[in-house]
Chain A
């Protein structure tokens, strides 16, 4: 197209006809090219977090772009051996206060601002696509945790089935109140527990998920409370489900573990439970749940060892 001709002095009419012409050409071109373009373009998907088109795929996390994935603050070596915190932890070394009912906690990631945002997107906005990602992330942590525990218990534990032994007898999760459950439509801890089990299975061994607990009332937001209030606010919030003992008994019964005559829990005479939640802040929620779980285990005549796994540790 000769540009000079259109740039003439008396603009209006000439310009209109030019636009018309150009418009038609445009249309013809786009009509021709768009379908071809669409056919040839790779089916690029957008990153769930930042919305940009994913150029480099991350193995195992097809929803995320490389940038967003590499920003995840994984906890690979927790500083605190008890609560799994990345940095030093005064709470665990402090003596007194409420008795700790679980043995240890491990988490996938540090609860950074971006992780907080992910969880908010998932939990409060209800963007359930995040659920799958979070579940896979917690799967990474359970693998590491099981490895660590095996190393720790090597002397106490019989080694023969190490490869297939998942260490825990069952997995359970922190419940939602009925009201929240109706409102939200899903329990993020349950989704995470299932994700953890999926990863645990891949590492070998059977790992049943059982819902054992019930949340009788909904507590106010924890973040507005002092440490003391948090620890005491939780009392009496969680109860055992009526069918909990039966469910747990079934989950650990020898009949279910098909290639051994006795279940590991019977042999070692303890029940090892893994309790899953989304975030560990002071551990008060987990502690309250662990206390109830201990009680359930005692009803089965065996002491319970409760381990905790969360997606994030603040």
Chain B
């Protein structure tokens, strides 16, 4: 996209501005601002069309210098030329350090440089040379070309015949709307036009409030929700921008323009995506801005391409409905009691939810941070992502999906910024019910809540439960391809990827299954989560197996948290038992399973349990299914994995008992509840099973009230640290539950 750029002299100094529709800017500075006594003194149109990325770069680097008052149009032209030169040189440096697959690389630069020469004085305040305080220089240069300025002004007033043809076209279309659909009252042509733009801008501002959208996404939103604004969106967005309701920026922008570089950082810093925070390593020639190397972000392509010439609009939350701050309120009294009663929580759930509520209600000192906040965030993200240096960054860019764990070697959840609270609830504790009082509390105070979870199926499963819990509060359910994606609500339920479409809007962000793929170890999603939360909002994390860095923070006392050590039915977690066994590979080769394993399997079958068998490799599933089928011909055995198209069906069959033994991988470690089940983990010493996934898999057993004591077997040749850790974690949770009296008396044999 190309935009127009201009400089404007206001009382406080010169400003560089970027415009989607210069006619709107002109109107603003010459008419609107007058009423607010903030009229522009001089406006110089620098370029009609400049690649958006460059224009934003120039804007962000611009600083007022007193000498500028004396500059003539020619000097402004030279300034622009210098700045453009500098930007392009920097880009070329980055390009040299980056990939090398561009086709035809130097198409643009000559064009760009010649466009820099078209600086024109567009407007200057009457009598500026004499009475006003600006220096003589601008006075003379302004006077010299004031006739030109007047001419242009007149032209604008009459036929709006100025500026880039595109935006004028938009404006003309806007006028068309005025006459037909909106039909605003009488008055001069200009006056009516202004009204329409103002109205369109206010609607657009409302729709954009708290969102971060690329121009293409905004157009989709408008087409769906505000079709009358859509044709003139550039004018409306520009007006909202001038009002301060919408920030205009580039999708990909240079990493911290004036970076305080560490000496060994290397000269070429890649630009970053402002939506997802990832490095944008790839540059290609671009037809929409005409640059020969326009960077784009590969990490968040799934939500539409963010590149250095795409417009990213961030709407600020309107001043209309400011929710009361979460803290304070009812005379400092902890808001427990009445809030908790409604939900029928178990004692353990109740205690933890109460603590979370107290956390929400307490004044958050962490929020008293100044304006350096944004820069701080940026730098932290940089530091975090840059930790792995070039190698890690390169893989980060390539790994679009499955294995981008490599790019996040550094911890992602150690952000000191927004206050966080961890609800560490064991598997089967009933996490969802515990968040209801929190949601209710924030909604009651007029705040906005987001419940995010990494997986789409969990979102779909959660939606009806939330709907039943909050019948008066329609929730917007967001995921890839959701029909509700542009709806506004106070309660959102979304996959973590959808967080990228929000900007500083939520008072409470609840992240469920914090340690699950793809949220875990993805700096992009962590960045998105942080950006979506209000600066004075807070996070509540839910997990049965929090990542190690959070566990460390807990042990150091840095992370407020509450543990829910027992399941809702008040029975202890089944403690895994060890069975020594040769590796599965060998079992497959020898075509037999060891007696010890078969012995307990037979027991499980006899007691009528559904049996999960977890293996570490997909290729082991079929042979194991075959072995078991031969051993137990009367029992239906099934196998499924991520590559199985009939997975959902098989899980349903397993739930209903049509399949008695299900051989699977970690794909089913979470979210599956089967009433009477036993769990066998083969090759439990595999490096693919870490402590968290062992605990999760073990958590599939004994979840129902009717069969609370399932069997969990770790079968492996070796007893590894992960296995020990998992057993320890389960035992310690049981111990805490016992100590706090959450367990039913006769049932703590697992200790």
Interface of A with B (CB < 8 Å)?
A: 3, 6-7, 9-12, 15-16, 19-20, 23, 26-27, 34, 38, 41, 43-48, 50-53, 63, 121, 125-129, 131-132, 181-187, 191, 194
In the bound complex, residues from chain A placing their C-beta under 8 Å from that of B551 are 19, 23
28 A-B pairs within 8 Å (CB atoms) are namely: A3-B724, A7-B728, A9-B735, A10-B735, A11-B732, A12-B732, A12-B735, A15-B732, A16-B555, A19-B551, A19-B555, A23-B551, A45-B395, A46-B398, A46-B403, A51-B399, A51-B402, A51-B403, A125-B302, A126-B301, A126-B307, A129-B298, A131-B284, A183-B288, A185-B284, A185-B286, A186-B285, A191-B103
Give the shortest distance, in Å, between B729 (CB) and chain A (any CB): 9
Structural contact, B103 and A52, CB atoms closer than 8 A: no
B400 close to A (CB within 8 Å): yes
Structural contact, A126 and B296, CB atoms closer than 8 A: yes
What is the CA–CA distance of A6 and B732 in the complex, to the nearest angstrom? 10
Structural contact, B287 and A52, CB atoms closer than 8 A: no
Structural contact, B298 and A127, CB atoms closer than 8 A: yes
B739 close to A (CB within 8 Å): yes
Excluding A9-B735, A38-B389, A185-B289, 11 further A-B contacts by CB distance (< 8 Å) are A7-B731, A11-B735, A12-B732, A16-B555, A46-B395, A51-B398, A51-B400, A51-B404, A127-B298, A182-B288, A183-B288
Structural contact, B301 and A127, CB atoms closer than 8 A: yes
Structural contact, A20 and B287, CB atoms closer than 8 A: no
Give the shortest distance, in Å, between A217 (CB) and chain B (any CB): 18
Contact of A132 among B101, B392, B402 (CB under 8 A): B101
Give the shortest distance, in Å, between A282 (CB) and chain B (any CB): 27
Q: Which of A26, A52, A185 has the most CB of B within 10 A?
A: A185
In the bound complex, residues from chain A placing their C-beta under 8 Å from that of B154 are none
Structural contact, B736 and A12, CB atoms closer than 8 A: yes
Give the shortest distance, in Å, between B193 (CB) and chain A (any CB): 26
Give the shortest distance, in Å, between B528 (CB) and chain A (any CB): 18
Structural contact, B751 and A9, CB atoms closer than 8 A: yes
Q: Which of B302, B724, B732 has the most CB of A within 10 A?
A: B732
In the bound complex, residues from chain B placing their C-beta under 8 Å from that of A38 are 388-389, 391-392, 409
Give the shortest distance, in Å, between B690 (CB) and chain A (any CB): 13
What is the CA–CA distance of A133 and B292 in the complex, to the nearest angstrom? 20
In the bound complex, residues from chain A placing their C-beta under 8 Å from that of B284 are 128, 131, 185-186
B552 close to A (CB within 8 Å): yes
In the bound complex, residues from chain B placing their C-beta under 8 Å from that of A181 are 287-288
Structural contact, B409 and A34, CB atoms closer than 8 A: yes
Contact of B398 among A34, A45, A132 (CB under 8 A): A45
What is the CA–CA distance of A9 and B731 in the complex, to the nearest angstrom? 9
Tally of contact residues, B, Cβ under 8 A: 45
Structural contact, B402 and A50, CB atoms closer than 8 A: yes
B548 close to A (CB within 8 Å): yes
B401 close to A (CB within 8 Å): yes
Contact of B548 among A26, A128, A183 (CB under 8 A): A26
In the bound complex, residues from chain B placing their C-beta under 8 Å from that of A15 are 728, 732, 735
Contact of B399 among A10, A46, A63 (CB under 8 A): A46
B561 close to A (CB within 8 Å): no
Give the shortest distance, in Å, between B732 (CB) and chain A (any CB): 5
In the bound complex, residues from chain B placing their C-beta under 8 Å from that of A191 are 103
Mask: chain B, 39-58; 1 = CB below 8 Å from A; 0 = not: 00000000000000000000
Structural contact, A182 and B101, CB atoms closer than 8 A: no
What is the CA–CA distance of A20 and B413 in the complex, to the nearest angstrom? 18
What is the CA–CA distance of A63 and B298 in the complex, to the nearest angstrom? 14
Q: Of residues 721 to 751 in B, which have CB atoms within 8 Å of A's CB atoms? A: 724, 728, 731-732, 735-736, 739, 751
Structural contact, B305 and A126, CB atoms closer than 8 A: yes
Mask: chain B, 270-299; 1 = CB below 8 Å from A; 0 = not: 000000000000101111110000101010
In the bound complex, residues from chain B placing their C-beta under 8 Å from that of A186 are 284-287
In the bound complex, residues from chain A placing their C-beta under 8 Å from that of B395 are 44-46
Structural contact, B403 and A11, CB atoms closer than 8 A: no
In the bound complex, residues from chain B placing their C-beta under 8 Å from that of A127 are 298, 301
B33 close to A (CB within 8 Å): no
> With A12-B736, A125-B305 as given contacts, are A184 and B287 in contact (CB-CB < 8 Å)?
yes
In the bound complex, residues from chain A placing their C-beta under 8 Å from that of B288 are 181-185
What is the CA–CA distance of A286 and B296 in the complex, to the nearest angstrom? 31
B394 close to A (CB within 8 Å): yes
In the bound complex, residues from chain B placing their C-beta under 8 Å from that of A11 are 731-732, 735-736, 739
Structural contact, B394 and A45, CB atoms closer than 8 A: yes
What is the CA–CA distance of A38 and B556 in the complex, to the nearest angstrom? 28
Closest to A39 in B: B391
What is the CA–CA distance of A125 and B735 in the complex, to the nearest angstrom? 52
What is the CA–CA distance of A50 and B731 in the complex, to the nearest angstrom? 39
Closest to B388 in A: A38
What is the CA–CA distance of A50 and B642 in the complex, to the nearest angstrom? 13
Q: Which of B101, B287, B406, B551 has the most CB of A within 10 A?
A: B287
What is the CA–CA distance of A212 and B587 in the complex, to the nearest angstrom? 66
Contact of A185 among B103, B287, B724, B736 (CB under 8 A): B287
